[in-house]
């Protein structure tokens, strides 16, 4: 066993404090993430055919590698953009961060409460009122009724739906449902907000309101935005990541990453 001198002990303690200090500044740490899916190539009609295929070594599926060793960190208060072509692995990555998918390999460390907004209206029940759906979504995000009581007025005010909250959701227009779902996500008091291609919601006035909100977030809340809009990347993001074929192809300032993205199409 190594014997520590007083000076060595103090230096080691300093290093430990510095490392923990750095960890406290990190909202999300992703290390060596892999994810694949099994895609069926043929159907086995009946148990007999399935056993025959197994004995013959016929798998009946192929494995699609979607993420291939993704690693990055997101600092607290950072607005990170994730871009890439369709099928590059962006949405799969967000679903792993949101604990919808489990990775094959690798680790994800989340420091704080994460609020995902990946598919509009997921978790809504059309037979419940707007008010009831706010509390239902809050419960799905892990908030208590008391916490939702504190958020409720702000959510409704942002959605501009106060007079409709006691009506059943099935009577809402699609635009009203989008506004409510979006407002729950961005006004819920989470530490980390995860968004998948959802900035163009509602009418022009509501979009402008959302743009103003995102501009106000810098340094105040951690945001991860997956988008195909290079304008939004340069307008809102502090840093960006380009994913291509399941790997990080470029990372850095928004302008650098948008140029790399555009080169994929040239």
The ranges assigned to domains in the chain are: 16-263
**pTM of the full structure:** 0.77
H helix count then E strand count, the chain: 9, 9
The residue-averaged pLDDT of 106-129 equals: 86
The contacts of residue 117 (CB under 8 Å, 6+ apart) are: 181, 182, 185, 186, 193, 194, 195, 196, 198
Query: 222, 209, 266, 256: which is closest to 83 by C-alpha?
Result: 256
Q: What is the pLDDT of residue 169?
A: 95
pLDDT digits (tens, 9 = 90+) for 78-89: 999 999 999 899
Q: With contact defined as beta carbons under 8 Å apart, do 109 and 73 qualify?
A: no
In the prediction, which pLDDT does 1 show? 44
Residue 38 has pLDDT above 90, yes or no: no
Distance CA 186, CA 220 (A): 13
Q: What is the pLDDT of residue 202?
A: 65
From the list 70, 114, 107, the residue with the least C-alpha distance to 222 is 114
Average pLDDT over residues 37-65: 68
Strand pairing class (192-196; 222-226) = parallel
Give the pair of three-digit tokens for residue 13: 């303690």
pLDDT of 21 strictly over 60: no
Whether 11 shows a pLDDT value over 70: the answer reads no
Q: Tokens for 98?
A: 């949101």
What is the average per-residue pLDDT within 41-57?
63
Query: In whole angstroms, what is the distance from residue 208 CA to residue 211 CA?
Result: 5
Q: For 176-201, what is each residue's pLDDT tens digit?
A: 988 898 888 888 878 998 988 766 66
Higher pLDDT residue, 1 or 134?
134
pLDDT at 16 over 70: no
CB distance 97 to 194 below 8 Å: yes
Phi, psi of 118 (to 5 degrees): -105, -40
Lowest mean pLDDT among 71-75, 143-147, 200-204: 200-204
pLDDT tens-place string over residues 238-248: 999 999 999 99
Which residues have a Cβ under 8 Å from the Cβ of 17 and sit 6 or more positions away? none
What length does the chain have?
Answer: 266
- CATH class of the structural domain 16-263: alpha beta
pLDDT of residue 243: 96
Give me the percent of the chain exceeding a pLDDT of 90: 50
């Amino acid at each position: 066993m190594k014997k520590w001198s007083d000076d060595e002990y103090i230096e080691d303690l300093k290093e430990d404090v510095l490392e923990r200090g750095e960890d406290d500044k990190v909202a999300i740490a992703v290390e060596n993430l892999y994810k694949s899916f099994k895609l069926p190539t043929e159907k086995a009609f009946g148990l007999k055919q399935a056993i025959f295929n197994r004995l013959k070594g016929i798998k009946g599926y192929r494995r699609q590698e979607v993420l291939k060793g993704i690693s990055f960190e997101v600092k607290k208060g950072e607005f990170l953009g994730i871009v890439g072509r369709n099928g590059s692995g962006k949405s799969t990555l967000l679903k792993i961060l949101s604990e919808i998918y489990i990775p094959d390999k690798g680790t994800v460390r989340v420091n704080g409460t994460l609020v995902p907004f990946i598919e509009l209206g997921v978790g809504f029940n059309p037979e419940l009122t707007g008010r009831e759906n706010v509390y239902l979504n809050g419960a799905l995000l892990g908030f208590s009724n008391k916490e939702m009581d504190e958020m409720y007025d702000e959510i409704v005010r942002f959605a501009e739906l106060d007079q409709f909250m006691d009506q059943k959701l099935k009577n809402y227009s699609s635009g009203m449902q989008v506004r409510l779902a979006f407002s729950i996500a961005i006004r819920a008091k989470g530490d980390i907000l995860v968004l998948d291609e959802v900035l163009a919601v509602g009418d022009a006035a509501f979009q402008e309101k959302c743009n103003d909100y995102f501009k106000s977030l810098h340094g105040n809340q951690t945001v991860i935005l997956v988008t195909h809009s290079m304008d939004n990347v340069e307008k809102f993001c502090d840093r960006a990541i380009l994913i291509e074929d399941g790997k990080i192809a470029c990372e850095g300032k928004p302008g650098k990453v948008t140029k790399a993205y555009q080169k994929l199409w040239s």
